Amino acid sequence: MAETQQKKKVSGSVVITAERCKGCSFCVEFCPTDALKLSDQYNAKGYHPPVLVSQDLCNGCNICGLMCPDFAVYGFMFKKKEK
């Protein structure tokens, strides 16, 4: 592999449906990039839903969505822009 080649970071985001969340924090615990944290705010059920810490941290791997028992969160990758 040539030294001039650099790995490009994959970028992504998450969609959070706060009212479905029961605050189990599986999404936060299993996020490989620490892009999620539990909010200080409460949802209607009285739980702390997750929030995205920083858009730059998320790679869209969807591990959060795979771990969520309530389908309250899922991740997605952005398409690469064609030049």
**Please, which pLDDT band fits residue 79 given cuts at 50, 70 and 90?**
confident
* pLDDT tens digit sequence for 9-63: 789 999 999 999 999 999 999 999 999 999 999 999 999 999 999 999 999 999 9
- The answer, yes or no, to whether residue 69 has pLDDT greater than 50, is yes
Q: Which fold has domain 12-77?
A: Alpha-Beta Plaits (3.30.70)
Three-class SS state of 45: coil
pLDDT of residue 5: 46
Helix (H) or strand (E) holding 13: strand 12-16
Distance between CA 48 and CA 40 in Å, rounded? 6
DSSP string, 19-61: GG-----HHHHH-TT--EEE-SS--TTS---EEES-TTT----
Helix (H) or strand (E) holding 19: none
